Amino acid sequence: MTPTEFRRRLHADPELSFHEERTARFISECLAAEGIEHRPTAGTGILARLVGSGDPRRAVVLRADIDALPVREETDAAWKSLNDGIMHACGHDIHAAVLFGVLQRLKHEGGFRGTIFGLFQPAEECNPGGASLVLAENPFDGYEVTAVIGEHVEAGLAVGTLGFCPGKFMASNDELRFTVRGKGGHAAMRSALKDPVIAAAELVLRLAELNSRECVVSTGRIIADGATNVIPDEVHIEGTMRTFDEEVRRRAKRSIADIAAQTDSRYGVETETDIGEGYPCVVNDERLTATARELAAERFRAVDLQPRTTSEDFGRYCERYPSLFYRLGAGERSGATHTSLFDPDERAIDTGIEFMSLLAIKLSETYE
């Protein structure tokens, strides 16, 4: 099976985070057909292994995510999603196809030293993320992991272009949930109310004041299930927080708790605050980034990228091993990720395979 055929099969049958059973079976069947050793990991993930020359204890890990999003596809692709309301709208099918192609090539052509792991990781799209479950299994115990490598398609880059950012690249991610409880009733009888709607409105505005160059706080959902003349007893709020610094992250969490307490005191309500800790920052190893960018410039177009406030559970690997996460150009006509019309240029698959294969070989030799 070619990597493009592999991608199209995945795209037509997408599955949500932690439900990638058919996806895992398909990947397993394809790896088995290539004679590539592999086993399950993190429930619905697959961990493949190739052993080259030299010390097998020295390892490079290549990672691709495999879950899809709850989006109803509206493209006209012949291989569009057959699962209503579920779509590979973030390019994970491309990432998986690239990794399959790399393993396919290295299996049959060799040329690398040590051990190459191919990690098809589940559940990147939700907290706590599949990376945490992979690492909880300690799958690389007994190995010296010299690099963990990941990529993400980028519609803002032309096909044949690779983007790099040394150091802090992607933000941490925490999910914010609030339940503001008061005393509802007839909207005309204000003296009898402890109005959770007004309290929630002030809470949202105060949270927005936390936004800065170092911290992003956004509210995406507010549910006040009353009516034109009915004030509900409680209001639900959901949002997200992103930072590039752990101390800023800690301070912001304290500020959120203080804002909720001040709002409670002002309006006589009670706010239940739940901050669901998500991914840490993606911090690229500077030496790995320099090596990869130099290699990319030899055959492709390499560009420098700025840090971005999107997040990735790849940050879990960055906390434990030297890691690199880069961007793979998929063409501006791809449209925006996380939308129903996202349609990446499949030529990106060949670029991705060529570059990741060369990088895996180079890293297996360079850091030995």
Q: CA of 173: how far to CAs of 36, 213, 314, 315, in Å?
A: 35, 15, 12, 10
What integer pLDDT is reported at residue 366 of this predicted model? 75
Q: Are 316 and 132 in contact (CB under 8 A)?
A: yes
How would residue 360 be classed by pLDDT, with cut points 50, 70 and 90? very high
Structural domains in the chain, CATH included, are 3-170+281-366 (3.40.630.10), 174-277 (3.30.70.360)
Per-residue pLDDT of 300-357, as tens digits, reads 999 999 999 999 999 999 999 999 999 999 998 999 999 999 999 999 999 999 999 9
Output the pLDDT for position 367: 59
pLDDT per residue over 53-67, tens digit each?
999 999 999 999 999
> Shortest CA distance to 180 belongs to which of 233, 241, 252?
233
How sure is the predictor about 219, in pLDDT bands with cuts at 50, 70 and 90? very high
Distance CA(95)–CA(100), nearest Å, equals 9
128 preceded by a cis bond (ω within 30 of 0): yes
The average confidence (pLDDT) of the chain is: 97
